[in-house]
Amino acid sequence: MIYVVRHGETDWNAQNKLQGKTDIPLNENGINSAKILMKELEDVEFDFVFSSPLKRAKETCRIIINNNKAIVFDDRLVERNHGELEGKHKNEFDKHRLWSLTESSPYESVETLDALRFRIYGFLDSLKTHKDKNILIVSHAGAIRIMTEYFKGKPSTNNLLEYTVENCEVLKFSWLC
């Protein structure tokens, strides 16, 4: 089973600002949510643990596993580079076009969905040799949207915003054999 967790809350999450690759740490609420999640997942024996190297994911992962497992930090799990949009309030840009599978993005400095998909799909493909293992992945909302697409297919709306995940939410996926 693959357990995919979005990092805990940051101040920018609380302020509804887009983070992207900006390296923001967890806030107190994010730390507390990760501690609650640690208790919820304490009976799961993870064979492999992967995390984005960004602070908010790293901190969340360390709390969840209670420093009892080795973590592999993988750059492919970082959030989408939002370029010019990083730090902007989410009402300052067209988030639907940003995540549309049918419309092109008007934001030239933002990482394309194809580029994001290439690295996330590549990461997930590399795990296929561990289909019978429990794997923890701690990452970010945008990266997790692509992971959800990988396992579930394209969303019915043709917009990846359909695949929303909250801070410290766990999604479970299994390999289709």
> Considering 9, 79, 111, 149, which one is annotated as catalytic?
79
- Decide: helix, strand or coil at residue 12: helix
- Written as six digits, the tokens of 19 are 């983070």
- Written as six digits, the tokens of 23 are 């390296």
> Considering 7, 9, 140, 149, which one is annotated as catalytic?
7
**DSSP single-letter state for residue 53:** S
Task: Verify whether residue 40 is a known catalytic residue.
Answer: no
Point out which residues pair with 48 in neighbouring strands.
135
Task: Verify whether residue 130 is a known catalytic residue.
Answer: no
Q: Are 168 and 29 in contact (CB under 8 A)?
A: no
Of 18, 20, 47, the residue nearest 143 (C-alpha): 20
- Written as six digits, the tokens of 52 are 């984005």
Among positive and negative, which fits the CA dihedral 147, 1, 64, 62?
Answer: negative
- Cα gap 172→62, rounded to integer Å: 19
What are the catalytic residues? 7, 79
